[in-house]
């Protein structure tokens, strides 16, 4: 069977209509994940009793679970428990009314949170301990130390890793089709099921993911250069 470029273009046009859905899932997940991941990393950095050990166990466990299992587990739990919770709270909303995109976002957010916490921990480790001691000797609180010493140095260090994380989330969002979310991958697959041209559809999807990844990577590089210049001017 020969490769037909016109079929690939057709699949590309159909799949491109759902780029917004793919980006919405990935961006929402990384925004929430970065906030939660920062909190977890700070808890582990300052070794808050009880919470530090708890999140260490949670991070270790979730890092070893495939994304496909997380999204399916969330779907099964929500499908069985949501209606029970809704009835107990006297809500009219039922699981059948629930947008499945939020199941996918929840799974992606878990992935983003775990990875963000590890990225921040690595970036925090690059900040010399002497700077913490200096901040403490100047009478800074922990919050002031985080804002003025820790984050200004950790963010530029971690930016390339966060761009890789966002690219990974964009790719992982293709699993959303398992819970009936139509994204770039699902749209191309539906088209292929109609004309039985799966190779062309998959090549079209690969082109879209490659394009998104390239834009994210180049954008992160420009942002990193800009932040590095600002940091150098602040030091000088």
For residue range 6-39, list pLDDT tens digits in order: 999 999 999 999 999 999 999 999 999 999 999 9
Q: Give the helix ranges, DSSP H, for the chain.
A: 5-16, 19-45, 51-63, 67-88, 101-125, 129-137, 142-145, 151-172, 184-195, 198-235
Q: 151 is in which domain, residue-wise?
A: 5-235
The CATH number of whichever domain residue 117 belongs to comes to: 1.10.3720.10
Q: How far apart are CA 229 and CA 125, in angstroms?
A: 22
Q: How confident is the model at residue 236 (pLDDT cuts 50, 70, 90)?
A: very low
Res. 170: pLDDT tops 90: yes
CA-nearest of 148, 124, 120, 121 to 134 is 148
For residue range 66-122, list pLDDT tens digits in order: 999 999 999 988 888 877 777 777 777 777 777 899 999 999 999 999 999 999 999
Report the domain count for the chain: 1
As a dihedral over the C-alpha atoms of residue 218, residue 222, residue 223, residue 225, rounded to 10 degrees, the angle is 130
pLDDT of residue 25: 97
Q: How confident is the model at residue 151 (pLDDT cuts 50, 70, 90)?
A: confident
pTM value > 0.85: yes
Q: Would you give the distance in Å from CA 140 to the centre of its chain? A: 33
In degrees, rounded to 5, the angle at the alpha carbon of residue 201 between the alpha carbons of residues 199 and 206 is 95
Question: In the chain, what is the straight-line distance between the N-terminal and C-terminal CA atoms, in Å?
Answer: 64
Res. 231: pLDDT tops 90: no
> How far, CA to CA in Å, does 35 sit from each of 116, 126, 170, 182, 232?
8, 20, 18, 27, 26
> How far, CA to CA in Å, does 220 sit from each of 36, 102, 117, 188?
21, 26, 19, 28
């Amino acid at each position: 069977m020969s490769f037909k470029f016109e079929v690939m273009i057709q699949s590309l046009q159909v799949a491109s209509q759902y780029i917004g859905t793919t980006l919405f899932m990935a961006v929402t997940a990384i925004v929430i994940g970065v906030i939660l991941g920062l909190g977890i990393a700070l808890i582990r950095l300052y070794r808050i009793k009880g919470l530090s050990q708890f999140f260490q166990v949670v991070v270790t466990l979730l890092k070893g679970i495939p994304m496909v299992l997380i999204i399916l587990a969330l779907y099964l739990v929500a499908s069985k428990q949501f209606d029970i919770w809704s009835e107990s709270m006297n809500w009219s909303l039922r699981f059948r009314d629930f947008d499945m995109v939020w199941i996918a976002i929840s799974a992606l957010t878990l992935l983003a949170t775990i990875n963000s916490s590890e990225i921040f921990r690595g970036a925090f480790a690059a900040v010399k301990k002497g700077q913490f001691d200096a901040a403490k000797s100047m009478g800074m609180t922990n919050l002031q130390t985080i804002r003025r010493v820790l984050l200004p140095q950790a963010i530029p260090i971690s930016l390339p890793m966060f761009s890789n994380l966002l690219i990974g989330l964009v790719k992982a969002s293709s699993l959303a089709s398992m819970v009936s979310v139509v994204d770039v991958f699902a749209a191309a697959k539906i088209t292929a099921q109609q004309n039985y041209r799966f190779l062309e559809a998959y090549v079209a999807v690969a082109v879209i993911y490659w394009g998104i990844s390239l834009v994210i990577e180049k954008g992160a590089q420009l942002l990193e250069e800009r932040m590095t210049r600002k940091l150098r001017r602040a030091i000088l």
